[in-house]
Structure 1
Amino acid sequence: MLEELLKLNVFAFFLIFARVGAVFMLLPGFSSDYVKPMMRLAVALGLSLMLMPFLMNSLPGMPETATGLGILLIGEVIVGGFLGLVARVMTAALQTAGTLIALFSSLANALIQDPITNQQSSILASFMGTIGMTLLFITDLHHLMIRGIGESYTLFVPGQPLPLADFSALVARRVADSFTLGVQLASPFIVTSMIYYIGLGILGRLMQALPVFFVAMPLQIGGQLMLLSLSLTTIFMYFLTRYEDNLIHMLEP
């Protein structure tokens, strides 16, 4: 009896860990390279242990064959990867916005190593991504992401067929929404840059001896940085609101 109970508990723990671990491999903030793998593993194991008493009744019985067990675990990894990927895609809106702002501020060639994406990106894209990730934790939105892992068991019941078509459609829609949000966040800079370029074109035609690029570059950089300082609060408030709404909407039955 004790051996059977122990086997059931071990199976339940690793079944939960398969989903939770896959989420933490992609979850924004937790999946970054600056988070040590052992720390990420410890958090995933601890969360799996905490969720186990609440999810025992919703878990299927242990399959009798190794093939059935493998299929069940792979399904949980797919669900976890899907949840983490959707959350990660939504944060890419800040990278898109930062890249567009840098492009229209003539700072696109000012590149640094981005600590969030662990790749080379413009300094403004890295700046936006770092602040956005910090605000996700300051405003406790990471609690919403973690709570969503537990609530996902009512939406994606272990052992049930996976809605792969719905997964693909939702990921595609979230990628489109993320790009749209990035363009919306950068829209003030796009509009002001277009007006500025039109004005420079007219000025260049009226004063052909004027060194347009020599005069325009400092004014463009200074003006866009001033606009960034004025709109930064609004940009991140709008991003956090959209991010929270998307997380809640994703886990609605």
Structure 2
Amino acid sequence: MITDPQGTVLALFLTFCRMGGCFMTLPGFSSARLPANIRLFVALAISLAVLPILWDTVYPKVSAPPATYVGLIASETLIGVMYGMIARIYVLGLQFAGAILTMSIGFSAPPGHDVIEDISETSVTSFISFCGLMLLFLMDFHHMVLHGLLDSYTATPVGAVLEPQKLLITLTDTLRASTYIMLRLASPFLIYGLLFNVAIGLINKLAPQVPVYFISTPFLVSGGVIMLYLAIAAMMRQFADGFAPVFNSF
């Protein structure tokens, strides 16, 4: 039996702010292809599930004055958004690697609609991004994010003073680590594109009368596609293995 209905609803809403803020930016759940009401119901269901675990942490804060409670809503939402952004930056890094890969192999086809987001992407970048996100879901990365959210109530309790500098350092460190991993994934294609274009440039100097661009482009694209076929499994494996160290380091 609920002895304090008002306090229970307020505690649930505080929990929903942190969980909902995370799902608002979490990869996959924040996709434009997923209806907003489904995201809302998922965040609400998870908030109801974890509220009994966090009851002793959240409920004592609901007796605060109205102005303080509004501040708690803002801070809890910001914490949830930050945890979701850590995962989102890492997945956006794969799109960055896909763009580098596409440019290096000369696959300059007109961009089309992205599978995940409501933006324009080339087919290769969209394919790589979708494969990486699907692999993360197969490895239950969302369970890792939820576990991190539950642990965040110990690291950053409800009502704790947020340090903007600490949040910015966390996001910049995530961006640095993600960029390093994605450049490592795209480095074989960067080297391939560089060596191929240098070789074609030398051939053009030796035989200026040959239309090098029209002759070299099919070989550049076909070689890049063959490399992608041979390397896609290792790329996706390294991408999935790199998520846990990046996310758990913060």
Which position in structure 2 is the counterpart of 1:192? 192
Q: Is the 8 A contact 2:83 2:145 kept in 1?
A: no
Q: Structure 1 stretches (4+) deviating beyond 4 angstroms?
A: none
Percent of paired sites with the same residue: 28
Give the letter for the 1:81 counterpart. Answer: V
Structure 1: which 5+ residue stretches go unaligned? none
Which position in structure 2 is the counterpart of 1:39? 38
CA distance in structure 1 between the aligned counterparts of 2:81 and 2:56, rounded to whole angstroms = 23
Which position in structure 2 is the counterpart of 1:144? 144
What do residues 33-83 of structure 1 show as CA deviations (whole Å, max 9, x unaligned)? 111111111111110011111111122432442111101111101101111
SS of alignment partner, residue 28 of structure 1: coil
Give the letter for the 2:15 counterpart. Answer: I
Give the letter for the 1:111 counterpart. Answer: P
Report the TM-score, using the length of structure 1 for normalisation: 0.93
User: 1:68-107 maps to which residues of 2 (within 5 A)?
Assistant: 68-107=68-107
Please report how far the alpha carbon of residue 93 of structure 1 lies from its aligned counterpart in structure 2 after TM superposition: 1.4
Please report how far the alpha carbon of residue 84 of structure 1 lies from its aligned counterpart in structure 2 after TM superposition: 0.8
Matched, 1:163 2:171: no
Give the letter for the 1:77 counterpart. Answer: T
CA distance in structure 2 between the aligned counterparts of 1:35 and 1:74, rounded to whole angstroms = 25
| Deviates most, 108-117 or 130-139 | 108-117
Q: Is the 8 A contact 2:111 2:122 kept in 1?
A: yes
SS of alignment partner, residue 31 of structure 1: coil
**Structure 1 pair 180/108, CA: closer, same or farther in 2 (3 Å)?**
farther
Which position in structure 2 is the counterpart of 1:10? 9
SS of alignment partner, residue 61 of structure 1: helix
CA distance in structure 2 between the aligned counterparts of 1:242 and 1:206, rounded to whole angstroms = 45
Report the TM-score, using the length of structure 2 for normalisation: 0.94
Matched, 1:57 2:56: yes
| Deviates most, 60-69 or 194-203 | 60-69
Which position in structure 1 is the counterpart of 2:24? 25
Give the letter for the 1:125 counterpart. Answer: T
CA distance in structure 1 between the aligned counterparts of 2:70 and 2:226, rounded to whole angstroms = 56
**Structure 1 pair 64/249, CA: closer, same or farther in 2 (3 Å)?**
closer
Q: Is the 8 A contact 1:99 1:108 kept in 2?
A: no
Superposed CA RMSD: 1.6
Matched, 1:175 2:175: yes
